[in-house]
């Protein structure tokens, strides 16, 4: 039997994140209930170099451009903001 691990796209999204309304790299839905997200995100001010660490800013040269969507079905992946135990 072969087991395959499926990793969310969101696991590879970390670093400097810019929130946009168009021309996004990914559409993201923020979970606010007790559902399990694809990625647990911790907002950091500097050195966002691990999965789940996002430094949200307005830099033109960000690592990723994210657009928040209102419908989970429209999202490439889901996130939940956390203070600890971030990542996939």
Instruction: Tell me the per-residue pLDDT of 24-34, one tens digit each, with 9 for 90 and over.
Output: 999 999 999 99
**Measuring CA to CA, which residue among 9, 78, 64, 16 is closest to residue 44?**
16
Looking at residue 9, its pLDDT comes to 82
Looking at residue 88, its pLDDT comes to 86
Burial level of 36, CB count in 10 A (0-12/13-18/19+)?
A: exposed
Looking at residue 7, its pLDDT comes to 56
Q: Give the Cα separation of 14 and 63 in Å (integer).
A: 8
Looking at residue 48, its pLDDT comes to 93
8/63: higher pLDDT:
63
* Residue 10 pLDDT class (50, 70, 90 cuts): confident
**Measuring CA to CA, which residue among 54, 52, 70 is closest to residue 62?**
54
- Span 76-82, average pLDDT: 96
Looking at residue 45, its pLDDT comes to 92
């Amino acid at each position: 039997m072969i087991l395959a691990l499926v990793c969310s796209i969101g696991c590879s999204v970390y670093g400097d994140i810019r929130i946009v309304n168009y021309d996004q790299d990914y559409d993201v839905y923020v979970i606010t209930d007790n559902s399990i997200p694809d990625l647990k995100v911790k907002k950091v001010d500097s050195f966002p170099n691990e999965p789940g660490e996002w430094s949200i800013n307005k830099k033109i040269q960000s690592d990723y451009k994210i657009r928040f969507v209102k419908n989970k079905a429209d999202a490439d992946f889901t996130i939940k903001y956390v203070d600890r135990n971030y990542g996939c």
